Structure 1
Amino acid sequence: MRGTLLPPDVPAYATRGDRFDDLVLDAVEHLDHRWSTELADVEFAVEDVPPVAVTDDEIPLAHYQPAGGKGRSGTPRRIVVYRRPIEARAVDSEDLAELVLDAIIHEMAEMMGVDPAVIDPEGHGWGDEE
């Protein structure tokens, strides 16, 4: 008879998608300390790849979708982060975390109509990634 290798309360395996979701949550938490009011009604999502209908020459890392409609039938403001394009650009796990943060900062800046330097004065988000 075989026993368990790990106690039941220890996660045995986190997928790449799970780890990426955690990076997005970490980035949002980092930015929420300063921008909680502006982010209060923003929904964050992770998708593997952007829609096929992307017409730009460059594959986007994230996308801001303004709110649509009014009342309960409307959709909230949304920032979608695309996992596979970001993973393809990252050289290591530290770079991956930076790219996630940069992508979110870029979309927040677009949403708020400000320069990315306003969102994160520490220097993220306005490099040549986009």
Structure 2
Amino acid sequence: MSSTRVPHGDPSSPLHTHPARNRHGRGARGPLLPVGVPRYTTRSAHFDQLVIDAYAPLHNAYFRELAGVDLAVDTIPRMRLSPDMTVFPDEIIADGPVPLGRVLQAGVDRRGNPTRARFVVFRMPIEQRAATTEERSELVTWVLTALVANYLNLDARTIDPDFPW
């Protein structure tokens, strides 16, 4: 009888059958779906799709005015802000001292190339303020409505009569 030794915990081994440990009763560790399956998406991909879904009705309603505007999602606000700043400029949509979104006007970059206007939504501040998917969706819609209203120089209630601001 021949025995083959397999190093303990070698995931490339065909004999590796150790399930992920649940040491403290906190549930499964790791992704629920394997990375290779079509339904697997990351949290940031879910958020990106949420932003696209919330922006689509605004873009369709003001198609001609927003044709030259790009939409972007950034993880955190990357701006130089003064710590004693209590009032943000109009192009920054914030919840208290934390920016949630920003309008970047068209201009010229460092190399002299023209840039398009851009709406930037900040993912982490929005996710930290929303406990449920529904709250997150409402907050993203609120931020995008405020950004579009600022860009078009309109009152946000003109775009959405139920706007809470």
Identity of aligned residues (%): 36
Aligned residues: 120
Counterpart residue number, 1:118 = 158
Q: Which has the higher contact order (CA 8 A, sep 6+)?
A: 1
Kindly indicate which of the two structures has a greater share of residues assigned to helix. 1
Kindly indicate which of the two structures has a greater share of residues assigned to strand. 2
Q: Distance in 2 between matches of 1:120 and 1:53?
A: 31
Which of residues 9, 13, 16 in structure 1 aligns to 2:40?
13
> Which ranges in structure 2 are unaligned for 5 or more consecutive residues?
1-13, 15-32, 87-96
Counterpart residue number, 2:102 = 63
Q: Distance in 1 between matches of 2:44 and 2:129?
A: 16
Moved over 6 A (4+): none
Q: Distance in 2 between matches of 1:75 and 1:33?
A: 22
DSSP 3-state at the match of 2:62 = helix
Larger Rg: 2
Counterpart residue number, 1:107 = 147
DSSP 3-state at the match of 2:71 = strand
Q: Distance in 2 between matches of 1:74 and 1:38?
A: 18
Counterpart residue number, 2:123 = 83
Q: Distance in 2 between matches of 1:54 and 1:89?
A: 20
TM-score for the superposition, normalised by structure 1: 0.81
**Which letter maps to 1:114?**
L
| CA-CA distance at 1:44 after TM superposition | 0.4
Q: Distance in 2 between matches of 1:48 and 1:54?
A: 17
- RMSD over aligned Cα, in angstroms? 2.3
Q: Distance in 2 between matches of 1:35 and 1:106?
A: 14
TM-score for the superposition, normalised by structure 2: 0.65
